[in-house]
Every structure is written in C-alpha cells, then in structure tokens.
Structure 1
Amino acid sequence: MRTLLFSALLAVASLLSVPAHAADYRAGKHYVELNSPVPVSQPGKIEVVELFWYGCPHCYEFEPVLNAWVETLPDDVNFVRVPALFGGVWNTHGQLFIALEAMKVEPQVHEAIFAAVHREGRKLATPKEMAEFLAAQGVDSEAFLKTYNSFGVKSQMEKAKKLAMAYQVTGVPVLVVNGKYRLDLGSAGGPQQAVALADHLIARERAAQ
C-alpha cells in the first residue's frame, strides 16, 4: 500500500515544476519542517538520514543517485541509513540490515541484497534464506544468524521504530536533514531533485551553526 501510494505521488510530482533556485524551495510543499527536531547521532555534524526498505522499488531506483551523492558529502555531514519498520517483511528486512551493520559487513552486501530482491525475485523473508544468500556473498552464515537473533539487534530495531515515529514517516524512501527537515522523491520532484534539496537544507544548517 505504501509503495503504491508513493508511486501515485511520484507520478503527480513529475508533472509539477521543480524549483530551479534555492529561493523557490518552500516548507510544506517541497519538504516538511518537523515541529519537534530529533537529536542527531553525532552532535557537531550535520546528519542526513535515509529511511528505506529493501523491498521498495523506489528505494532501489534511488540507490545509484543517492550513493553517488553520498560520495560527495563533506566531512561535516554524517549520512545514516535507517530501515523503516512497518511490520511483516519490512521488519524482517530491517532486522537483516541492522544485523549486517552490527557485523560491519553491510556496505559489502547492501547493493547485492537490493539486486537479489528486485532483479532476481528473491524474497529473503526468512533467516534461513538470508543466511544462505549471504554465505554466497562471503558472509559467515552462523555468525549472521547469531547476530540476527541477538538482543543488541532487537534493541536497535526498537530505536529505528522510535526514529521513524519521531520523523513522522509513513512511506519510503525519505531523507531527514539534521533531524529537522523531511523530504521525499515525490515532494522534491525526483531523485536528483531530492539530493539537490538535501544539499540546500545542509547549507542552511551549516550557515546557522
């Protein structure tokens, strides 16, 4: 439902004009300014959070643009991925991401997981299926299963749920800049426009420091 709704919003947004200058960006139209700012994970740095789901086609399409943009971010910007946990397979995939992050192997397999789901049609909906897939990617399957079921991972899942609630997120992909501004591909006008808007909001936060 959430991805279908997002498809409709993105289609409408593509028909609308996209601001050509920073002065054209407006809160309430191109992004949402949160009523209650959310603390960042690294004080002193400008944080950009992406909320995503491995099963979301728009997240998959956004990946190449987002990854290229992240490579250009200066040292004063901290980029963080947070899985959206809306129940069911969303939670299963979120637990997968958090476990891999805890094992410090997530960057090595992130793109492979997206490709497996969207190009190969793999569900990756059970720990057993995940472990078998990850073994082929060079990840120790026993270590993965132990980490997947660990208390630490489950604690991080609770933290991710609370963050999504604080950000007032209802769909993905979403970017949150410095715990203050939330934007998505639909409101921004597309993937490239989303990172351009994020750049604008980062600059605003930098100037305010």
Structure 2
Amino acid sequence: MKKLMFLVAALFMAPALVAQTTYEEGEHYEVISEQRSAKPEVKEFFSYYCPACNAIDPVVQTVMKSLPEGTTFKKYHVDFMGAASPEIQKTLTTAMVLAKTQGKGDEVNKAFFNHIHKDRKAFANDAEIRDVVVAAGVDAAAYDKHLNNFMVKTQVNLIQKEQATFTKSRVLNSVPTFIVNGRFKINVAKLDRNNQEQDFKNLINFLLQQP
C-alpha cells in the first residue's frame, strides 16, 4: 500500500520535475543563418563584467560538460562592455585563453567572475589580471612566457573576429549569447527559471538535432 501511494505521488510530482522538451522558433530560439556549422558546436559570447553571465556561469559549466560526444564548446569573451577599457577586456580574453592551455581554464574563469562580482574589485591594469591568474593556479613563469606567444595570440584574434562578425550581423548585441551550430541563437530569457539547468540542456540538445 505504501509503495502504491509513493508511485501515485511520484506521478503527480513528475511534471514539475521535467523541464520543457519541445521548443518553438521565435520564442525559445531564433534562426540566424540558413547554413549550419560543419560540425556540432555551441558558442558562448560573454563578459566577466556581465552580471547575467556571472549568474548563469555555473549552469553553463555543468551543461557544457555534458554535451553529446563530438560537440565542441567554444567560449568567446567580448571587449565591448562599458565597465572597463577594451584593452583590459582584451587582456582578460588573452589570460582566459592562456589559462586553458595550462589546464586551468575553469579555475581562472571562476576567479575572474569572483574578483569582479563577489569581491567587487576592478582590474586597473594587466598586472592585477596576472595576479589573479597566478593565484588561481597558473604558474607565473608560464604566464609570462606564453602571454604573447603565437598560439595564444591567434586564438585571441579569432575571438575578436567572431565578435566583430556577429556584432556586424546584429546577432550579438548583448551577453550572454549562445549560438548552436552557427544557425540558432538561444533566447536565454525564456529558460525555465525553476529548472534552468535541465531546460538549457534540453534546448541545446534539441537545436543540435535540427537540420
């Protein structure tokens, strides 16, 4: 009898626990291109100065680590926020790229968000950015050695090029912006606030399967 009552209760609770799995163009996402990327991918355009980016980042980190096999996640830090100079924002982008090459991408990502939003501190110069990166676990000598190497600079240039392309096409006008397969832009505001992580994951998987 107790088992039966538990099963009945679970059936009533289930709808509240399951995030939406059907999505509509114009409400949950926009079609921004007729062409899709050659390989499955998710792009995030964000800024460490963006409160909304800071708020959703834990969800992003979890969801992106559970993407279907073969799907690439690409993180693009923008430099158009008014809270800091483009030069400081570019250095943050460079430091983010460098940290990833040193296996400390997640640690530095969290440290930058915490520095600005939790500790309420600004970055006055490149040296302060270096201090946070080193404190997050990147070797100081490695940071100095690789900050301006070819691979890091090439990746930073690619990020800036992608930002310029999507800004010019008016796809990128705020952050965070998520683009799936180069064809779909997610409407972040429509994610289920009561089950944001699962809804985000479901929507991405839905869009990855679209032609």
Q: Deviations over 1:114-158 (max 9, x none)?
A: 112211123234221122223323322232133222333222222
2:189 alignment counterpart: 186
Q: Deviations over 1:157-181 (max 9, x none)?
A: 2211222234431221111111111
How is 1:1-209 mapped onto 2 (pairs within 5 angstroms)? 21-23=20-22, 25-35=23-33, 37=35, 39=37, 43=39, 46-86=40-80, 87-167=86-166, 168-186=171-189, 188=191, 192-193=195-196, 196=199, 199-206=202-209, 208=211
Structure having the higher Rg: 2
Describe the shift of the 1:206–1:160 C-alpha distance in structure 2 as closer, same or farther (beyond 3 A).
same
CA distance in 1, matches of 2:111, 2:174: 23
1:66 alignment partner, SS class: helix
Report the CA distance between 1:195 and its aligned residue: 6.2
More divergent stretch after superposition (47-56 vs 199-208) = 199-208
Q: Deviations over 1:8-31 (max 9, x none)?
A: xxxxxxxxxxxx8554x3333332
1:182 alignment partner, SS class: strand
Describe the shift of the 1:30–1:156 C-alpha distance in structure 2 as closer, same or farther (beyond 3 A).
same
Describe the shift of the 1:85–1:36 C-alpha distance in structure 2 as closer, same or farther (beyond 3 A).
farther
Residues 33 and 184, structure 2, Cα contact 8 Å, conserved in 1: no
CA distance in 2, matches of 1:191, 1:54: 24
More divergent stretch after superposition (50-59 vs 99-108) = 99-108
1:49 alignment partner, SS class: strand
Describe the shift of the 1:59–1:88 C-alpha distance in structure 2 as closer, same or farther (beyond 3 A).
same
Amino acid at match of 1:70: M
CA distance in 1, matches of 2:206, 2:155: 30
Describe the shift of the 1:91–1:170 C-alpha distance in structure 2 as closer, same or farther (beyond 3 A).
farther
Residues 95 and 148, structure 1, Cα contact 8 Å, conserved in 2: yes
Describe the shift of the 1:122–1:204 C-alpha distance in structure 2 as closer, same or farther (beyond 3 A).
closer
1:17 alignment counterpart: none
Report the CA distance between 1:92 and its aligned residue: 2.6
Aligned residues: 184
Unaligned runs of 5+ in 1: 1-19
More divergent stretch after superposition (145-154 vs 94-103) = 145-154
CA distance in 1, matches of 2:76, 2:198: 17
Describe the shift of the 1:124–1:199 C-alpha distance in structure 2 as closer, same or farther (beyond 3 A).
same
CA distance in 2, matches of 1:81, 1:161: 12
Report the CA distance between 1:61 and its aligned residue: 0.4
Unaligned runs of 5+ in 2: 1-18, 81-85
Output the TM-score relative to the length of structure 2. Answer: 0.72
